[in-house]
Structure 1
Amino acid sequence: MLNPLSQMLDLLPPSSLEYLNVYILHPDSPFQSIRRSLGASLAGLYPILALAADKITQFALNSPDVVLIVFLLAVLLLAIQILNWTRRMVVSLTRLVFNLMFYAVLVGIAAFMYQRGLEASIRDAFVVVGKVWGYAQGIKDVFLKEYERYAEEERKNSMRPGGGRGPAGGKASSGWR
């Protein structure tokens, strides 16, 4: 049976194999010298790391409540991270959709102006703006009439005896029943 590493290396092109042999796998390569020095450093740290791992394991066995709390905090942190990633994704996709809609409207307006011509498009724009302005004036008039009606009702209620209170001492009726 072949080594899995040699099977993977057979899939690489010759230039990549040469690069790996020169800079990664060769015993005198910088990668191998760093790996050897790091391995020697970690070999010296092994007794300290083993002792720390043993102490942590003993602490975890002696106090399962702390382990449970740490586990729950880790799960909470993970859930918050996932929700934050989801929020960022939704925000970026929403921004993308609104940008696409904005540019689609601009392209639509440009196509409309190209098809109708500049003079007819300007005339249509003035007609649309006039209609919207008239509709806004109508809405403004309705709101002003309602405001005046409510102000008049409040003025009448405040002039009643008892300071505008109804018969039960509560607030006066506003006309809505």
Structure 2
Amino acid sequence: MLVFLAVVPPIAHVQYTRCARAQEREEKVTCVPQASIVPLPPKPPPRRTDQLSSPQTTAAKHLALKKTHITSIMDVADQWMLEYLPGFLPDPLPQLLHEHVLHPHAYVQVLKRKAMHLLARLFNAAYPFLSPVADRLARALHDSPDLVVLAALLVALAAALQVLLYVRRVVAWGVRLALRMAFWAGVVALGAVVWRRGLEESVRDVVVAGGKVAGYAAAIGEVWMAEYRRYEAQTQRVAQAGAGAGARRQR
């Protein structure tokens, strides 16, 4: 009995103390005004790593898109060749073309893939250096439209000059070709005449033709000399008349 009386009061005091503290906490929570409770802002959703964008990732995406576009264009060209060339080529050639040129394991395709890989590496190496220069150039051209107009005029003038030079070269080539064709046509015609009439008759004809040409040339020379003498005489008469008129005026 004594033990019970000694143990029960401390336990009851502890239980009472716990109940009092719990009641105080409940009262504090219930007495807090609703206006003082500020709701916390909602947490933003976590950003996906594939949505992160930076200049490096953007440039890499552009390079990948360009490579894919070029590869698709080349594949379309190969497919077009496989579909449409057999209609224009004889029977053995399309098969040979497919086996030795268009087949993925053909040596030409291997070289093409190596060349494209090398060009891609060169482009990737040069892109970081060329891109800022191109951006600055585009910005400078955008800021100065007068220079753009002047450059466009100069380019148009240079293109027109190149076209005119090309036309001149084509015309000169055509004239040379026509002269050569006329010369060789004359040689062929002369050979045909000699073959048909014989060597002696041809020589006689040449001598006769030469004599006639010489006679015509002599006649033309005589006419020219007569006209020249007449011109000289007329000039002398005009000079003498002028000298006589000057002498009469002095008197």
Q: Report the TM-score, using the length of structure 1 for normalisation.
A: 0.76
Aligned amino acid, residue 76 of structure 2? P
Bigger shift: residues 103-112 or 45-54: 45-54
Name the SS for the 1:160 alignment partner. Answer: helix
- The total of aligned residue pairs comes to 159
Bigger shift: residues 154-163 or 50-59: 154-163
1:80 to 157, 161, 186: 161
Structure 2 residue 193 is matched with structure 1 residue 112: yes
- The CA distance in 1 between the partners of 2:113 and 2:76, in whole Å, is 21
Aligned amino acid, residue 116 of structure 1? R
Does the 8 A contact of 1:23 with 1:31 survive in 2? no
1:15 to 87, 100, 116: 100
Give the percent of matched residue pairs that are identical in Structure 1 and Structure 2. 31
Deviation for aligned residue 1:45: 3.1
Does the 8 A contact of 2:141 with 2:148 survive in 1? yes
Distance 1:8 1:30, change over 3 A: closer
Q: Deviations over 1:83-130 (max 9, x none)?
A: 111111111121111111111111111111111111111111111111
Paired residue for 2:76?
4
- The CA distance in 2 between the partners of 1:126 and 1:22, in whole Å, is 71
Name the SS for the 1:21 alignment partner. Answer: coil
- By percentage of residues, which structure has more helix? 2
Does the 8 A contact of 1:158 with 1:164 survive in 2? no
- Consecutive unaligned residues of structure 2, counting only runs of 5 or more, are 1-74, 83-93, 247-251
- The CA distance in 1 between the partners of 2:112 and 2:222, in whole Å, is 82
Distance 1:45 1:6, change over 3 A: closer
Aligned amino acid, residue 128 of structure 2? P
Structure 2 residue 247 is matched with structure 1 residue 150: no
- Consecutive unaligned residues of structure 1, counting only runs of 5 or more, are 166-177
Distance 1:40 1:123, change over 3 A: closer
Q: Report the TM-score, using the length of structure 2 for normalisation.
A: 0.56
- The CA distance in 2 between the partners of 1:24 and 1:65, in whole Å, is 48
